[in-house]
Amino acid sequence: AQSVTQPDIHITVSEGASLELRCNYSYGATPYLFWYVQSPGQGLQLLLKYFSGDTLVQGIKGFEAEFKRSQSSFNLRKPSVHWSDAAEYFCAVGDFGNEKLTFGTGTRLTIIP
Amino acid sequence: NAGVTQTPKFQVLKTGQSMTLQCAQDMNHEYMSWYRQDPGMGLRLIHYSVGAGITDQGEVPNGYNVSRSTTEDFPLRLLSAAPSQTSVYFCASRTGTGGGYEQYFGPGTRLTVT
């Protein structure tokens, strides 16, 4: 069964500092991997996705993620965070044979001035 | 395009009451799904549909019914609400072809069962 682990429940970073959010997945085949962001009281918005090809993918709002098959990881990075990046971030792995998108438990990001 | 819309935004039910959460999308997407979000558990799939007239169960289907009579609408029914169904419910849709599997989410319905 597929699963996703986000080991950090809550991360606090200073505005302008770099960011890395961790995501590890378990999946039997080539995974479809996603990062979503959720602002308070809002739905989820797709930041980026990986299906195949280049293992470094670029997303919206200056985010990128790197797929590392050997480590079963898909970590999200941003070189310099802005106060508006404060939100909850979810990593997900997709099995579209049965339309199942499995989410991690999320990482809440707090930005301090 | 309005995208994915959900009504109501908030609802309080008493145990045993029934209700329907509405979801509609105007993007002509074939696939639609319902998720529930609980603290510390991420989102879990309740039911999904791959087209009008076709639905299937997800990870946590008990206590919920769905039907899909049109491409646009995918309502979620709670037949007899229980406190364990207190949650935030999200509807999502995606295209079946060439869409890169991106799911578009609605703004959510916050349900409290007392």
Chosen for mutation from A21, A24, A44 (greatest number of chain B CBs closer than 10 Å) is A44
- Residue B97 one-letter amino acid: T
Q: For residue A4, which residues of chain B lie inside 8 Å, CB to CB?
A: 42
Residue among B114, B91, B77 nearest B9 (CA):
B91
Residues A76 and A48: their CA atoms lie apart, in Å, by 9
Looking at chain B, which runs of residues are DSSP E strands?
4-7, 10-13, 19-25, 31-37, 43-51, 54-57, 64-66, 76-78, 87-94, 104-105, 109-113
Predicted local distance difference test score (pLDDT) of residue A98? 66
Q: Please check whether residue B58 touches A, CB under 8 A.
A: yes
Mean pLDDT by 10 residues, chain B (114 residues): 92 97 95 92 91 93 96 96 97 77 90 97
Q: Please check whether residue B45 touches A, CB under 8 A.
A: yes
Q: Please check whether residue B65 touches A, CB under 8 A.
A: no
Predicted local distance difference test score (pLDDT) of residue A78? 98
Predicted local distance difference test score (pLDDT) of residue B100? 62
Mean pLDDT, chain A, integer? 92
Confidence of residue A30 (pLDDT cuts 50, 70, 90): confident
Q: Are A44 and A106 in contact (CB under 8 A)?
A: no
Q: Are A78 and A85 in contact (CB under 8 A)?
A: yes
Least confident of A15-19, A97-101, B58-62: A97-101
Helix (H) or strand (E) run with residue B56 in it: strand B54-57
Q: Please check whether residue A45 touches B, CB under 8 A.
A: yes
Q: Are B8 and B107 in contact (CB under 8 A)?
A: no
Closest-CA residue of chain A to B9: A41
Residues A107 and B42: their CA atoms lie apart, in Å, by 10
Q: Do B33 and A90 touch (CB under 8 A)?
A: no
- Counting one residue from chain A and one from chain B, the pairs whose CB atoms sit within 8 A come to 56
Q: Please check whether residue A11 touches B, CB under 8 A.
A: no
Residue among B42, B80, B16, B27 nearest A38 (CA):
B42
Q: Are B101 and B1 in contact (CB under 8 A)?
A: no
pLDDT tens per residue across span A63-91: 999 999 999 999 999 999 999 999 999 99
Torsion (CA) A42, B24, B20, B51 in degrees, nearest 10: -120
CA angle A4-A21-A57, nearest 5°?
A: 85
Predicted local distance difference test score (pLDDT) of residue A1? 76
Q: Do A90 and B100 touch (CB under 8 A)?
A: no
* Statement: residue A18 has pLDDT above 90: yes
